[in-house]
Amino acid sequence: MEMMAAKNSNEEETLAIRDVIKCIFHFTEFTVLRSVIQLGIPDIVENHPGSIVSLAELSNSSGSLPSLLHRVMRFLTRRGIFKEMTMDGQDSSIIGYAHTPYSRALTKDRMAHLFLLMSSPEIVSSKLSFAKVLASNTDYSNGFEAAHGVDLWKYSTANPLFGELFAKGMDCLVGNRLSLVLENYPDMFEGIGCLVDVGGGNGTALRMLVKACPWIVRAINFDLPHVVALSGGGDDGRVEHIGGDMFVDIPCGDAIFIKSVLHDWDDEACVKILKNCKDALSKETGKLIIMDSVVNHDNLKNIDNYEEYHLAADIEMLALTINGKERNAKEWDDVLKSAGFSKHTIKYIPAPISVIEVYL
């Protein structure tokens, strides 16, 4: 029996060491993917006429050394990121590279900017500063401040290139999730003449909404002045970009839309933002539409389990925000009631976030 126990103990230790090494190599994969995105490799494969790119073509187009690129692509194809295929009309020994759904998601018009943001030196150093935040004698409320001396928002203002990357990174999540809202709840925005998007970034969400909802005659993209300055073009005349501070006041509208903003702030700050939203709404028909995480919401348990995502996102809040956090249904109820709203409903979409429809 003692020998058997010793054997089991050795097996457990071996498995534990394997898991630690696997965790370390997750970071290796993370950094390799950042490199291939920076070199434009996912977009080179995406835009290639034959959809299969030889090593020589890939090397030439990306400006990479073929001998080193081969090793990188071997590493990624083994993990199901890109796939190897025999080139058409070529000797069977000539291998090309093609997309998998994973690698296609890393192109610039999909998730590349979010990946570049989350793998940026600014964000990575914030996570490497967790110990300073967790220490009992800490002076820091989050990892970003511990790493850079100022919070994320002040840093973004002072460093426009990072601010632009942050805006583009957040924008990556908008299209898919908003499409799911419109698909699952097509009447969500019905009857809204003037819609205000609080923290709307460069206005991507509003451009989608005015296209899908022609009855929206005025759409206000409201964010910090340096953020709305990045809004660019593409508007059809109904989208207006206004710079300001949501902690001071918010433009008036029939409805207010606020997506993945409130989880950046503690309860006190959320109540302040929500009260300003309430003051800006039409007293007769006004409503607030929130897109954000609802941890362990009952509807989610029956369809998809996003608990791992929510727990990881909560750690991101610890790294990047001033006491921000992911909230469960009870916590959302508390902040909404504290802000003076009378009722709300939480609606499921097949994504890690939910839609909270809030009424005066």
Tell me how far apart the alpha carbons of residues 72 and 305 are, in angstroms, rounded to a whole number: 33
Q: Are strands 95-98 and 194-198 parallel, antiparallel or unpaired?
A: unpaired
- Of the residues 99, 148, 241, 263, only one is catalytic, namely 263
- Which alpha helices (H) appear in the chain, and where do they start and end? 2-38, 41-47, 55-62, 66-78, 101-104, 112-118, 121-127, 130-134, 143-148, 152-158, 160-171, 174-184, 204-212, 225-228, 267-280, 298-303, 307-320, 329-338
Tell me how far apart the alpha carbons of residues 251 and 242 are, in angstroms, rounded to a whole number: 9
Q: Is 263 a catalytic residue?
A: yes
Q: Are strands 354-359 and 287-292 parallel, antiparallel or unpaired?
A: antiparallel
SS3 242: strand
Cα-flanking dihedrals φ and ψ of residue 237, to 5°? 100, -15
Residues facing residue 85 across a β-bridge: 96
Contact 219, 209 (CB under 8 A): yes
Element (H, E) at 255: strand 255-259
Tell me how far apart the alpha carbons of residues 98 and 48 are, in angstroms, rounded to a whole number: 10
**Nearest Cα to Cα of residue 133 among 122, 119, 147:** 147
**Catalytic residue set:** 263
